[in-house]
Amino acid sequence: MSKLLILSAGVSKESNNTKLAKKLNDFLNEQNISCEIHENLYENIPFLLDNQDEVPKKIIDMRKSLENSNKILIFSPVYNGGFLAHLKNTLDWLSLAYEDNRYNFLFKEKTVGVVTSVKGAGGNAEKAFNILSSQLLNYGLNVFNEFHLITKKDHQDEVAIEENVKVFEDIKKFVFKFLDF
């Protein structure tokens, strides 16, 4: 099975998206499925500017992970019908040419899937997925045609989201379907 890179675009360490991404990473490692996670995409990655020469260490580390991965799974919240700027900023950094590698080299022939946990009903999530999908296609990625949405309705009980058995079982089903794609 190919190596999976998990990117958590949650907006804090307490983000439901981050908690679920970490739990999935631990589960897949226990199953001997090769994966790696990068989180906190909002820290220590400055906004990309045309005249910026220094590549952030986090981006260099993510490049190494992407070089060895065939699939990418993005965990990201939705705000105002879209995905947050720090996710696009990270992907833009990763799309840049470096060493002998051309623009978008890291994304060629890779498949990406999206998991989204929202605090509301998720009414804007499909529109946000379509916007993100268009951007991912621009990078040269193959986009898995489904996304996995977790809404407030899915985790209303008193159990922390990362401990919610049904939520995690549904994520595992989605991920195994994505990995087989």
Which long-range CB contacts under 8 A does 10-14 form with residues at least 24 apart? 10/39, 10/75, 10/76, 10/77, 11/42, 11/77, 11/84, 11/86, 13/39, 13/40
| Cα gap 19→89, rounded to integer Å | 22
**Is the pLDDT score of 161 beyond 90?**
no
Q: What's the pLDDT at 1?
A: 43
Domain of residue 140: give its range.
4-180
Q: What's the pLDDT at 111?
A: 97
Average pLDDT over residues 143-159: 84
Q: Is 109 helix (H, G, I), strand (E, B) or coil?
A: coil
Q: Give the CATH number, domain containing residue 55.
A: 3.40.50.360
Q: What's the pLDDT at 156?
A: 65
pLDDT in tens, 115-143: 999 888 888 899 999 999 999 999 999 99
**Is the pLDDT score of 6 beyond 90?**
yes
Average pLDDT over residues 58-78: 96
| Cα gap 31→9, rounded to integer Å | 24
Q: How far apart are the first and last CA of the chain?
A: 11
**DSSP per residue over 163-177, as a string?**
G-HHHHHHHHHHHHH
Strands in 9-129 per DSSP E: 35-38, 71-75, 111-117
| Cα gap 84→132, rounded to integer Å | 10
As a whole number, the mean pLDDT across the chain is: 92
Instruction: Domain count for the chain, please give it.
Output: 1
Q: What's the pLDDT at 23?
A: 96
pLDDT in tens, 11-59: 988 899 999 999 999 999 999 999 999 999 999 999 998 777 799 999 9
pLDDT in tens, 83-107: 999 999 999 999 999 999 999 999 9
